[in-house]
């Protein structure tokens, strides 16, 4: 099994252990994970979610009044669309699923103004 697939499966398992409901999506050049984040989430479980996400090449979080989703991308080394800057979610080519109505998108680490 390629290292990228093993890493994606480890992220998936850690998100599950933290109480999230992950989905693994294989896409050209990458594996994307999306996980519904239960609310409220204890600080201990939130740290576990962040530890899992930090294993990815890029990650982020978005949500609205109906709930929130954490996402992570593991590059597989194949061809993928140009994504611009590739640092923890910055430059991700796609928007969160849905119509975007009322959704806020947060990325980690937060962007710093310079």
Domain span holding position 91: 3-107
When comparing pLDDT for 98 and 73, which is higher?
A: 73
Name the domain count of the chain.
Answer: 1
What is the pLDDT, as a whole number, of residue 92? Answer: 46
d(CA 107, CA 19): 20
- Let me know if residue 13 belongs to a domain: yes
- 81 within a domain of the structure (yes/no): yes
Q: Measured in whole angstroms, how far is the alpha carbon of residue 64 from the centre of its chain?
A: 16
Contacts by 17-21 with C-beta closer than 8 Å and gap 24+? 17/48, 18/45, 18/48, 18/49, 18/52, 19/45, 20/49, 20/70
Whether 113 is in a domain gets the answer: no
pLDDT band for position 99 (50/70/90)? very low
Q: What is the pLDDT of residues 21-73, one digit of tens each?
A: 999 999 999 999 999 998 888 999 999 999 999 999 999 998 888 889 999 99
In this structure, is residue 33 part of a structural domain?
Answer: yes
Give a yes or no: residue 112 inside a domain: no
């Amino acid at each position: 099994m390629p290292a990228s697939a093993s890493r994606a499966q480890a992220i998936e398992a850690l998100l599950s252990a933290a109480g999230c409901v992950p989905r693994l999506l294989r896409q050209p050049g990458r594996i994307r994970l999306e996980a519904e984040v239960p609310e409220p989430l204890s600080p201990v479980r939130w740290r576990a979610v962040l530890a899992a996400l930090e294993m990815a090449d890029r990650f982020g979080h978005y949500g609205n009044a109906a709930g929130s989703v954490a996402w992570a991308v593991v590059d597989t080394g194949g061809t993928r669309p140009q994504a611009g800057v590739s640092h923890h979610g910055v430059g991700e080519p796609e928007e969160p699923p849905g119509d975007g109505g009322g959704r806020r998108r947060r990325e980690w680490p937060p962007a710093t103004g310079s």
